[in-house]
Amino acid sequence: MKKYRSLHTISLGLIILFSIITMSSMNSCVPSKAVAAKTGVQLWSENCQRCHNTPSPTTFSPEIWETVGMHMQTRALLTEAERDKIVEFLKSAR
């Protein structure tokens, strides 16, 4: 019986710890006001050009930029709002 109670206590502790970590990481996904205020061109130059030479906005069609944006959102850990701003900039710069 003691073994079961000990295992139950450990399991409960792990669940609480996991919940706390999950909740705190969810808040880190919300962009700061400074990031939210940035334009698409600023986000493009800070995020895309840090890893590779970015192609000209005229390289791809607007539809392809949408696809590239979705792919790079995952790779560069961009928020949806950041991705949208970058893709809108790339489409408007054509």
Rounded to 10 deg, the angle between the 80-92 and 62-76 helix axes is 150
Average pLDDT along the chain: 82
Give the pLDDT of residue 61.
Answer: 95
| Predicted structure pTM score | 0.65
Is residue 87 predicted with pLDDT exceeding 70? yes
Can you tell me the mean pLDDT for 30-36?
73
First to last CA, the chain: 71
Alpha-carbon separation of residue 47 from 6, 19, 63 (angstroms): 48, 30, 21
* Overall size of the chain counted in residues: 94
